Amino acid sequence: MAKTVEHTGPFILAMDTATPLGSVALFSEDTLLGQIEYRRAKSHARLLSSMVQQLLTDMEVEMHALSAIAVADGPGSYTGLRVSTSTAKGLCMALDKPLMALPSLEGIAWKVQDLASQLDAKIISMLDARRMEVYCQQYNSDLETETEIEAKIIEEDAFADLLADHKVIFVGDGVAKCREILSASPNAICLPEVLSSASNMGPALWRKYQAEDFVDLVGFEPFYLKPFRATKARNRLL
């Protein structure tokens, strides 16, 4: 992790725990200064705060020097989203800093915005959900949303109407489960796995910061898309 000393801010700290990949990233304006990622089962609550502190220490940036704190606000894991939201809120309250939120799918889409512009292509950003289902949203090459976020079951004719008239870049960890179906169309561009990560969020967060597009610190809740379902453990025969 390279250390950068030339940047003086505004510093934006971002967190993403919407998926099993946990990540924190530090930006100066829209420039990524450093990041830490980890993938350990059910570890967000245990690791996130220490990763934040480690990143700031590595970058030699004090907590009070942060200008804003941001989270990926879903859709994604219910527990994961709760962890990053509560961590970010706690830091914002302690430091008197504003909170920003960015949809997980938009963060992924920013990763391919330049390619979409070059190809004049649409973007379908998707996260893996249950079975043959993905969370997805459609964007144009300027990263303007063209559909609402939805939970979509991948069937043989998935995205057929869109692919009939447009080149479409499919990106995100949900692509793996529908690559075979989509590859039948010459207009489908299925990229290698791009994970939901705080490191993708810089350009969008800088826009939000400049526009003072902050969320209400008290009332903010992540976007779960689906309600949380608790399950009971099965009784074991002794």
Digit-coded pLDDT (tens) for 17-70? 988 889 999 999 999 999 999 887 577 888 899 999 999 999 999 999 999 999
- At 119, the amino acid letter reads L
Residue 46 backbone phi and psi in degrees, to 5: -85, -35
Band (238; pLDDT cuts 50, 70, 90): very low
pTM to 2 decimals? Answer: 0.84
Q: Is the pLDDT of residue 156 over 80?
A: yes
Residue 168 clears pLDDT 50, i.e. is over it: yes
Does pLDDT of 208 surpass 60? yes
Fold equal for 11-104+196-210 and 112-190: yes
Highest mean pLDDT among 46-50, 164-168, 181-185, 232-236: 164-168
Average pLDDT, the chain: 88
For residues 159 and 187, is the Cβ–Cβ distance under 8 A? no
CATH T-level topology, domain 112-190? Nucleotidyltransferase; domain 5 (3.30.420)
Give the model's pLDDT for residue 6: 61
Domain extents in the chain: 11-104+196-210, 112-190
Query: According to the model, what pLDDT value does residue 178 have?
Result: 87
Distance CA 151, CA 47 (A): 29
The torsion region of residue 170 among left (phi > 0), alpha (psi -120 to 50) and beta comes to beta
> What confidence category does residue 228 fall into, taking pLDDT thresholds of 50, 70 and 90?
very low
Per-residue pLDDT at 90 exceeds 70: yes
> pLDDT category, 80, cuts 50, 70, 90?
confident
Residue 146 banded pLDDT, cuts 50, 70, 90: very high
Residue 43 confidence (pLDDT): 79
Instruction: Name the CATH superfamily, with its identifier, for domain 11-104+196-210.
Output: ATPase, nucleotide binding domain (3.30.420.40)
Token couple for 168: 């479409």
DSSP classification of residue 145: B
Radius of gyration from C-alpha coordinates of the chain: 19
CA 238 to chain centre: 43
Summarize the confidence of residues 89-95 as an average pLDDT.
Answer: 96
Q: Residue 132 has what pLDDT?
A: 84
pLDDT over 60 (residue 230)? no
| DSSP secondary structure code for residue 185 in this structure | S
Give just the sign of the alpha carbon dihedral 112, 115, 117, 123: negative
**Is the CB of residue 102 less than 8 Å from the CB of residue 201?**
yes
Q: How confident is the model at residue 160 (pLDDT cuts 50, 70, 90)?
A: very high
Cα distances (angstroms) measured from residue 87 to each of 49, 103, 157, 204: 7, 17, 41, 21
